[in-house]
């Protein structure tokens, strides 16, 4: 009896001790009256944020950090969860993580010592794509579990790991949750129209396409944490939805992976991903697929987890099913046979949201458990990758390129050498003897010194559009790249550079990202078998940001030094321009001239016109007497300044100088005073323009990006929806109408088409659906029956219509313009047919192509004769016989059989002779049609001028200067 009594007392004491250790925190049920994952319930960001604030007060495992504001002005939160002891030394662990990631000045022994002292830093996010409803809800659940559970595994994880829980899209979480929960009848939630607008203010789903350009506040907030502050070793990015017949897709990724990355990245991803799959199987959770089970490869840069991998972070992605409205896993026969990419199939069944939450907890804990067990290895490995990058940037190095392998293989084959490799993935050579010598010589062909990776890049300060070069530098700075600025003139090789030039050296830990932003991508030909259509890349095949932005830079192949200072800033303003107006005794200036090349010149124009100033655009070269002591071109006299076509002129008025001083200071645009108006040439007198930008119910991402661009450059605009267009009388309201890709339908074989689709997030509202008037007024599509006649009337009355991508082709068809597809089969005599080229012979996913530009066209003023354009399975046109009589003018076209600059272009010779940009008069108005995506994701600044020119050029008044 005494023994029994002692045992009971011991149990009570242990229970009491456990109870004392267990945190007393509020559960989701206590907070919301629901658990995360309950049927027909979604917590909004406002609710989650308030809950996190409460947990941070209740638990010593959690602190709440504000990482910035969102596009709509909400505070974006990050919950930092680890043991109380770690919180007391958090600054030190953050310093260690950052020090190891940068790798500079460390020996292996130093790194091992720091790895032994440090803690693994793991980023787990949720809710980035807000209509993928699981992400934000699982984030709320895992935070609760990590601050409340006391099992041995949780306690070990808290001791070894610092977890950064980041809500990736607060605005979208509020919109989607409140829209779903608005119906008072739970079983009817989710059955009505989709959300009425984009779930991230401007870009919706493309918020996961912004992480190397870093244009949006949320991208900047997260990039700052990732690449300037914490530098985690692992990042886990939650998405939806899993492939049909499964519960989720998780890495390993399918090939290709990006050749700029350290080989430890794909291996590290595989290591952590296998821990996920193994734990799911061990817990009896079937239905996880990998590799070929999804479309996700390791090639592209730009997504949250993708950009992380170019910074030596193990970036993970899962795509999982589930939502608050119960659903069904369908029977997919091909998913029922176990394979190495789907080892544990799942039976068809009814699926509840709570099951998805539980699967998410398993994958989260698998990552955290491995991060704990392999703590020192993860910390040391990120240093090792950083050191590898520094070493590669400090010596001769060649990044593999498929085209280079093909060229050498072809050379070997033509020489009849035998032995060795004969192509991509060809067989190995023979060891020893002449075979070895031959293979060594052939291998050296891949090491042509002219094809080395650069040791650095120099962006000269005297390039035509230095403010845009500064925008590019900001994209690098915001992703943690070290950039230098020259404090004085310097010389590298045979070239002299002015003070203020930017210098980016590649001997730094994040070298993979640097190379990826400057160098062309060379996507391999992924074709399953001869004659098969290519396997599309997950996203773009080529995106080189410096080339998209039209930045001028020099590649430096040898080490170099100069009077360089590191730029400490997170975001630079463009270097100030000048107002050159020193008097030469000619009296007050008549006005000021400024160049067309800087994109920021259009911001200056918008400000000047808004202030009532007189601004003109010279259509041809001219000259004007100087009213300044400005340095002159060698061909110019001391008394005159030569003005190329496209020069802008603003007449001097009482407020002009003050406006120009501000523009020069803020925009980096320079102005030169002239003593008299330029003379002898036609010009356009510009006027404030009224822009109507098409959008639709649910929101169009290309339209959202266009809104953002217009606002960045201070263009006035109004968003217009199909019912507003259908009402007609458009000329009284607008000067220009803009239709982005997906707005205007094609003409069907019957000559009519009901409306344009386009896959907007949320889709169109159901006919007759009950919506507030604000949203109901946005319903509908552009139609041949109602909208096209209104557009024809608008053009007849002198309006301008700009159209991009499929909308350009659709508009041309509806207007009967002499354009047809260039990408068609050829007949026996070389004549064009109506049969489109099959993808097995022609395929160009998102890539950069070189085009020839007619720089005499005002649409192309400010560009050079050769320009890179972003192309994504875009239309390519040919002129029909009636084109000449209709006055159609080509502005840009493909004049080469090899236009590919960056990416992948299978059968690219088919592009030669095809048209990319055309303009034409219609009635008293004008249309300008852009086949490629000249505004794609706000990245191709190098083609923005085509858009800006087309807004102003047709709407101004022709005059003589």
- pLDDT tens digits for range 31-56: 999 999 999 999 999 999 999 999 99
- For residue range 751-792, list pLDDT tens digits in order: 444 444 433 334 444 444 578 888 999 999 999 999 999 999
Look up tokens 């080529």; give the residue: 542
User: Among 71-85, 575-589, 791-805, which stretch is predicted with the lowest mean pLDDT?
Assistant: 575-589
What is the rounded distance in angstroms from the CA atom of residue 622 to the CA atom of residue 624? 7
Query: What is the mean pLDDT of the segment spanning 730-749?
Result: 94
Query: What is the mean pLDDT of the segment spanning 9-24?
Result: 49
For 639, how many CA atoms within 13 A lie in the half-sphere containing its CB?
1
The string over 90-121, giving b where at least 16 C-beta atoms fall within 10 Å of a residue's C-beta and e elsewhere, is eeebbebbbbbbbbeebeeeebeebbeebbbb
Query: What is the mean pLDDT of the segment spanning 73-98?
Result: 98
User: Model confidence at 582, in pLDDT bands (50, 70, 90)?
Assistant: low
Query: What is the mean pLDDT of the segment spanning 183-198?
Result: 92
**Percent of the chain at pLDDT above 90?**
85
Q: Which two tokens stand for residue 454?
A: 């650069």
What is the rounded distance in angstroms from the CA atom of residue 143 to the CA atom of residue 160? 16
Contact 745, 784 (CB under 8 A): yes
Look at residue 311 in the predicted model and tell me its pLDDT.
98
Dihedrals phi, psi of 813, to nearest 5 degrees = -65, -45
Look at residue 950 in the predicted model and tell me its pLDDT.
98
Look at residue 21 in the predicted model and tell me its pLDDT.
55
User: Does residue 252 have a cis peptide bond before it, meaning omega lies within 30 degrees of 0?
Assistant: yes
Query: What is the mean pLDDT of the segment spanning 647-655?
Result: 96
Contact 737, 711 (CB under 8 A): no
What is the rounded distance in angstroms from the CA atom of residue 860 to the CA atom of residue 295? 38
For 819, how many CA atoms within 13 A lie in the half-sphere containing its CB?
28
Q: Specify the pTM.
A: 0.94
Count H helices, E strands: the chain? 27, 42
Look at residue 448 in the predicted model and tell me its pLDDT.
92
What string of H, E and C letters represents the secondary structure of 846-873?
A: CEEEEEEECCCCHHHCCCCCEEEEEECC
Partnered with residue 523 across adjacent β-strands are none
What is the rounded distance in angstroms from the CA atom of residue 188 to the CA atom of residue 735? 44
What is the greatest pairwise CA distance in the chain? 116
User: Who has greater pLDDT, 749 or 24?
Assistant: 24
DSSP code of 746? Answer: P
User: Chain-wide mean pLDDT for the chain?
Assistant: 92
Look at residue 469 in the predicted model and tell me its pLDDT.
98
- For residue range 820-836, list pLDDT tens digits in order: 999 999 888 888 888 99
Look at residue 8 in the predicted model and tell me its pLDDT.
41
DSSP code of 452? Answer: P
Residue 20, pLDDT > 60, answer no
3-state secondary structure of 166: strand
Residue 910, pLDDT > 50, answer yes
User: Among 218-227, 250-259, 407-416, 794-803, which stretch is predicted with the lowest mean pLDDT?
Assistant: 407-416
Look at residue 16 in the predicted model and tell me its pLDDT.
43
Query: What length does the chain have?
Result: 961
Residue 803, pLDDT > 90, answer yes
3-state secondary structure of 153: helix
Contact 613, 648 (CB under 8 A): no
Look up tokens 């997170």; give the residue: 570
Cα 476 to chain center, whole Å? 13
- For residue range 665-696, list pLDDT tens digits in order: 999 999 999 999 998 779 999 999 999 999 99
Look up tokens 């997906």; give the residue: 742
Q: How many CB atoms lie within 10 A of CB 731?
A: 17
DSSP code of 573? Answer: P
User: Among 104-118, 176-190, 410-424, 631-645, which stretch is predicted with the lowest mean pLDDT?
Assistant: 410-424
Look up tokens 């890495």; give the residue: 251
Contact 937, 209 (CB under 8 A): yes
Query: What is the mean pLDDT of the segment spanning 536-559?
Result: 98
Query: What is the mean pLDDT of the segment spanning 434-443?
Result: 85
Q: Which two tokens stand for residue 735?
A: 């000067």
Residue 706, pLDDT > 50, answer yes
Contact 342, 289 (CB under 8 A): yes
**Beta strand ranges found along 628-717 (DSSP E):** 640-643, 648-651, 671-674, 682-685, 691-694
DSSP class per residue in 115-130 = HHHS-EEEEEEE-SST
Query: What is the mean pLDDT of the segment spanning 888-895?
Result: 98
Q: Could you give the angle at the alpha carbon of 950 between the alpha carbons of 948 and 952, nearest 5°?
A: 75
């Amino acid at each position: 009896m005494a023994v029994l009594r002692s045992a009971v007392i011991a149990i009570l004491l242990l229970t009491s001790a456990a109870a004392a250790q267990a945190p007393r925190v509020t559960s989701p049920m206590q907070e919301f009256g629901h658990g995360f994952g309950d049927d027909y319930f979604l917590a909004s960001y406002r609710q989650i944020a308030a809950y996190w604030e409460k947990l941070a007060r209740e638990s010593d495992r959690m602190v709440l950090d504000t990482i910035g504001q969102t596009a709509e002005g909400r505070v974006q939160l990050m919950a930092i969860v680890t043991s109380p002891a770690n919180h007391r030394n958090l600054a030190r662990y953050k310093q260690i993580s950052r020090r190891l990631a940068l790798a500079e000045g460390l020996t292996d022994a130093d790194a091992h010592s720091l790895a032994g002292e440090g803690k693994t830093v793991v980023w787990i996010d949720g809710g980035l794509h807000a209509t993928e409803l699981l992400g934000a809800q699982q984030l709320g659940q895992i935070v609760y579990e990590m601050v409340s559970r006391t099992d041995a595994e949780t306690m070990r994880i808290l001791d070894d790991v610092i977890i950064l829980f980041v809500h990736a899209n607060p605005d979208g979480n509020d919109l989607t949750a409140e829209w779903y929960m608005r119906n008072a009848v739970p079983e009817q939630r989710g059955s009505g129209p989709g959300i009425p607008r984009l779930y991230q203010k401007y870009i919706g789903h493309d918020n996961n396409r912004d992480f190397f350009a870093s244009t949006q506040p949320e991208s900047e907030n997260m990039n700052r944490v990732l690449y300037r502050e914490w530098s985690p070793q692992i990042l886990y990015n939650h998405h939806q939805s899993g492939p049909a017949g499964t519960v989720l897709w998780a890495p390993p990724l399918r090939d290709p992976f990006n050749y700029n990355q350290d080989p430890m990245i794909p291996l590290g991803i595989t290591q952590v991903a296998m821990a996920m799959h193994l734990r799911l199987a061990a817990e009896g959770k079937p239905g996880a697929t990998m590799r070929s089970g999804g479309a996700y490869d390791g090639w592209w840069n730009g997504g949250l987890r993708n950009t992380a991998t170019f910074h030596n972070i193990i970036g993970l992605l899962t795509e999982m099913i589930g939502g608050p409205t119960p659903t069904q896993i369908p029977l997919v026969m091909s998913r029922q046979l176990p394979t190495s990419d789907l080892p544990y199939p799942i039976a068809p069944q009814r699926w509840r949201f709570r099951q998805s939450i539980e699967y998410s907890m398993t994958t989260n804990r698998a990552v955290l458990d491995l991060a704990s067990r392999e703590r020192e290895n993860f910390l040391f490995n990120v240093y090792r990758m950083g050191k590898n990058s520094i070493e590669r940037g400090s010596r001769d190095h060649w990044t593999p390129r498929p085209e280079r392998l093909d060229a050498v293989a072809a050379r070997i084959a033509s020489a009849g050498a035998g032995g060795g490799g004969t192509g991509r993935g060809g067989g190995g050579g023979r060891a020893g003897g002449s075979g070895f010598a031959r293979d060594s010589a052939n291998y050296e062909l891949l090491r042509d010194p002219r094809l080395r990776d650069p040791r650095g890049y120099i962006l000269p300060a005297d390039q035509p559009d230095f403010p845009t070069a500064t925008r590019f530098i900001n994209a690098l700075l915001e992703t943690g790249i070290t950039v230098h600025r020259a404090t004085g003139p310097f010389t590298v090789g045979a070239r002299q550079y002015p003070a203020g030039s930017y210098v980016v050296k590649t001997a730094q830990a994040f070298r993979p990202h640097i190379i990826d932003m400057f160098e062309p991508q060379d996507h391999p030909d992924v074709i399953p078998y001869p004659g098969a259509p290519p396997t599309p890349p997950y996203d773009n095949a080529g995106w080189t940001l410096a080339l998209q932005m039209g930045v001028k830079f020099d590649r430096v192949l040898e080490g170099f030094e100069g009077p360089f200072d590191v730029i400490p800033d997170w975001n630079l303003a463009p270097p100030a321009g000048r107002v050159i107006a020193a008097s030469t005794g000619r009296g007050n200036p008549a006005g000021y001239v400024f160049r067309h090349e800087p994109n920021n010149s259009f911001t200056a124009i918008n400000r000047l016109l808004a202030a009532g100033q007189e601004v003109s655009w010279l259509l041809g070269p001219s000259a004007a007497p100087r009213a300044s002591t400005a340095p002159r071109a060698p061909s110019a006299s001391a008394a005159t300044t030569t003005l190329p076509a496209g020069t802008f002129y603003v007449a001097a008025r009482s407020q002009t100088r003050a406006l120009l001083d501000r523009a020069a200071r803020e925009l980096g645009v320079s102005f030169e005073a002239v003593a008299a108006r330029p003379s002898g040439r036609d010009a356009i007198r510009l006027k404030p323009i009224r822009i109507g930008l098409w959008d639709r119910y649910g929101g169009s991402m290309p339209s959202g990006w266009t809104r953002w661009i217009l606002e960045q450059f201070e263009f006035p605009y109004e968003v217009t929806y199909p019912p507003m267009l259908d009402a007609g009388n458009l000329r009284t309201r607008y000067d220009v109408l803009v239709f982005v890709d997906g707005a205007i339908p094609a003409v069907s074989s019957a000559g009519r088409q009901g409306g344009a689709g386009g896959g907007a997030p949320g889709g169109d509202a159901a006919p007759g659906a009950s919506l507030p008037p604000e949203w109901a007024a946005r319903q509908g599509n552009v139609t041949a029956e109602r909208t096209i006649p209104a557009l024809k009337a608008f053009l007849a009355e002198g309006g301008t219509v700009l159209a991009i991508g499929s909308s350009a082709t659709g508009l041309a068809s509806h207007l009967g313009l002499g354009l047809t597809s260039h990408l068609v089969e050829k007949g026996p005599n070389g004549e064009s047919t109506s049969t489109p080229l099959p993808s097995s012979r022609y395929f160009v996913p998102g890539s950069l192509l070189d085009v020839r530009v007619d720089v005499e066209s005002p649409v192309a003023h400010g560009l050079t004769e050769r320009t890179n354009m972003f192309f994504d399975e875009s239309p390519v046109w040919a002129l029909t016989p009636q084109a000449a009589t209709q006055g159609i003018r080509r502005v840009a076209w493909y004049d080469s059989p090899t236009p590919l600059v960056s990416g992948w272009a299978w059968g690219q010779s088919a592009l030669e002779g095809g048209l990319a940009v055309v303009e034409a008069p219609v009635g008293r108005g004008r249309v300008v049609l852009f086949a490629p995506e000249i505004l794609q994701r706000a990245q191709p600044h190098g083609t923005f001028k085509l858009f800006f020119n087309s807004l102003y050029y047709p709407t101004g008044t022709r005059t003589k200067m």
